Structure 1
Amino acid sequence: MSLLALTAAAALPATAWGVHAGWMVRRLRAARRDPLTGLWTRDAFTRQARRLLRNRHAVVVLADVDRFKQVNDTHGHAAGDALLAVTAARLAHAVGRSGVVGRLGGDEFAAVLVDRGGTAADQLAILGRILARPVDTAPDVHTSVSLGWVRRADHPDEDLSALLRRADEAMYAAKRAPVPVHRAALDRLLASVTGRRPGRRRTA
């Protein structure tokens, strides 16, 4: 057998392994993405969010689609899926490449963004209005998205789980508040609420 033939024969297993390795990488990446929205799954989001929380300017955000069950019951699950996909895309666009957004499950999303300019309150007020816009593919669906958030710098000793709980409390306080208060006092209301939400059991 010639040297060229031997070289070609030896290269075949390496080529096959390279193709297999590439396929495995693609599968792993896909497993970390939510199939409906394309956002990171909970585990993948958690890993990236923890890295971002090393920055004192980080802000943890929770978002929850209001009356989502009613949307599914009234307009069907296809409309609900479209609403979730558009909400995810709008969140991801607002957070940008410097942050991370994940779908925690159902109609609940989480994000960590870096707020170096101290404008998180204004950005999230605008985002709330953007998230309330109708979906092009489901124009009859009208709902809003409640946001809750907390600054990393205000709780430097707390981990991601604790900060998500604070953002969760803030989100549900905003959900219960009158709409004018919800829009006009995001900074004071959403970033400061730390009390326990009625009916919500804390986890360790």
Structure 2
Amino acid sequence: MMFNHTARPNITIAVYALCLAVLTAFAVSNLQILSFAGGVADDVRSEVEQHLMQAEIDRQIDVLFRDQSQISYWDKTVTALGGGVDQKFVQDEIADWLWEDFGIESSVVIQPDGTPLLSVFRSLVMDPAAGLPYVARNRDLVEAARQKYLAHRTPRNGGFVVTGTPARFSPPFHASDVRIVDGQFGVVTAQAIIPDDEEVLPDGMPQVLLTFKPLSKEMLAGIGESLGLEDLSVAPVAAPVEGRSSMVVSQLAGQPPLAASWKVELPSSIIWNRAIGPLVASFVVVTVALLMVALRYGRAIQALQQSEARNRHRATHDNLTGLPNRLQFDQALDAIIAERRQNRCAILCLDLDKFKAVNDTHGHQAGDVVLKTAARRVADAVGETGMTARVGGDEFIILLWDNLERANVLDLCDTIITSVCQDIAFEGGVARIGASVGVAWWPDDALSAKNIIRSADEALYRAKDNGRGQTWFAGDSGDLGAGATERRKPENGVTTKVTVAA
């Protein structure tokens, strides 16, 4: 009996101890699991957000480089800035074009000796010396652009050229960074000014075009919204702030790093808040809570993936019409020309005639309806034979890769113009607009992407100057004499007129 009485308390204590040990092991192991899961979730989210931010920075740099290349990779620029400065070219092509079309605020052309040849702020051509501080702050990019030129140049006709398309060079032909300039955050790009066709450069250092495109607080807010990053800002690196994530976007010698930061709610906080109570209560509740957190986190990852997919779509499509934008169009044209995917293609530049009357009379909401309807009609007419892109305002550009015979292209242009000329109803009225088309063929009319687009654009202006509502081919003369090619206006008599019904 004494043995039994002694044994029972020992077994009871052992059971209690075992239960306590199991509970302790359960609590410790689950706390460790929760801690590990929270850390992994935090790391994954941080990696995804930093990937999105870096991709956006790279996109902004790529956009500025492509826009700046309209000037820095052009025979006409080499001619206009060599042996004296063509002031009309500077005003029309650099001061007006780069600021008004691309938002490039500052442009400085740097001579081989390192001094500014000209300085432009927005649309104002300034004293060249005004660009000295800007050049001094970005001397590293200028020198890097020069070295990239020297590494890629090849001799031709007693001078030097850069063969190939700079946009496809790896590493990049340009030197770029995101920096704060005069208190404004933005993108800085330096690129050697080189010919794109027939001109050559003398031996020695090239001229360099240095540009700055600011990214305002409003633009950063829009970028943050599209990336799903709340309260996005850029500033010199400071002490870490609780509840905010950051990444270094620029590092200059002798200066504090520049970092982008945004507000973040760590997944680990959600995990702990949702799981700690059920963990204390019971194993079942903990299991359910962990499943709920896992599902919640899965949705967060899915939302991030969907956000990234939307951002990729926005980068290549026009927000209003849903058509491809200029970036997607340029990529498609580059693929045909640079990669020789086919032997021939046609470029159609199209403007809507008298569209401004719709906006002026009925407002931008009606104008948007007209734009979307006209865009759908043009895209339907082109169909599978090519790509229709909106490049801004009432301007469209079409890449045709099928049915390229002259008669077929002319018939397509007639179809497009006739379709656009049909009445477009909107709330409060009916619009009747027209369209003019300029056509050029690659490689018949030009060899490079930029020049073939320019040829089609010039043909468009000939069509508009000669009465609108018609098609004009690149190379056509002003009359129908010997050697001239027939130009046609669709039979619809209203293609050159616009009326708006109240």
Q: TM-score normalised to the size of structure 2?
A: 0.33
SS at match of 1:192: coil
What's the counterpart of residue 434 of structure 2?
A: 144
Q: 1: distance between equivalents of 2:404 and 2:317?
A: 30
1:62 corresponds, among 321, 326, 349, to 349
Range with greater deviation from structure 2 (51-60 or 33-42) = 51-60
Aligned residue for 2:351, secondary structure, equals strand
Larger gyration radius, structure 1 or structure 2: 2
Give the letter aligned to residue 105 of structure 1.
G
Q: 1:91-139 CA distances to partner (integer Å, 9 max, x unpaired)? A: 2112224522211111111110113351111111221111111113366
Residue number among 306, 327, 349 corresponding to 1:22 in the alignment: 306
Taking only the aligned residue pairs, the percentage that are identical comes to 31
Task: Write the distance in 1 (CA, Å) between the matches of 2:369 and 2:344.
Answer: 33
Letter in 1 for 2:430: D
Aligned to 1:135: 424
Distance 1:78 1:155, change over 3 A: same
Q: If each structure's strand is expressed as a fraction of its own residues, which one has the higher value? A: 2
> Partner residue of 2:322?
38
Structure-2 separation of matches of 1:177 and 1:102: 25
3-state SS in 2 of match to 1:154: coil
Contact 1:60 1:149 in 2 (8 A): yes
CA distance in 1, matches of 2:306, 2:474: 43
Name the counterpart of 1:47: 331
Report the CA distance shift for 1:122/1:97 in structure 2 as closer, same or farther (over 3 A).
closer
- Identify the residue that residue 96 of structure 1 maps to in structure 2: 383
Instruction: Give yes or no for contact 1:61–1:112 (8 Å, CA) kept in 2.
Output: yes
* TM-superposed deviation, 1:62: 0.7
Distance 2:385 2:403 in 1: 11
Q: What letter matches 2:363 in structure 1?
A: G
Where does residue 168 of structure 1 map in the other structure?
Answer: 457
Q: Which runs of 5+ in 2 are unaligned?
A: 1-29, 31-286, 479-502
Which structure's relative contact order is higher, taking Cα pairs within 8 Å and 6+ residues apart? 1
Q: Which runs of 5+ in 1 are unaligned?
A: 196-204
Cα deviations by residue, 1:159-187 (Å, 9 ceiling, x for unpaired): 2x2111111111111112246xx65xx4x
Tell me the TM-score normalised to structure 1 length.
Answer: 0.75
Secondary structure (helix, strand or coil) at the match of 1:136 reads: strand
> Per the alignment, in what secondary structure is the counterpart of residue 400 of structure 2?
strand
- The one-letter code of the counterpart of 1:135 is I
Structure 2 distance, partners of 1:173, 1:24, is 42
For the 8 Å contact 2:421–2:435, the answer to whether it is kept is: yes
CA distance in 1, matches of 2:435, 2:453: 17
The offset of 1:18, in angstroms, is 5.0
CA contact (8 A) 1:166 1:194 kept: no
Aligned residues: 185
For residues 142 and 91 of structure 1, what CA distance do their matches in structure 2 show?
A: 15
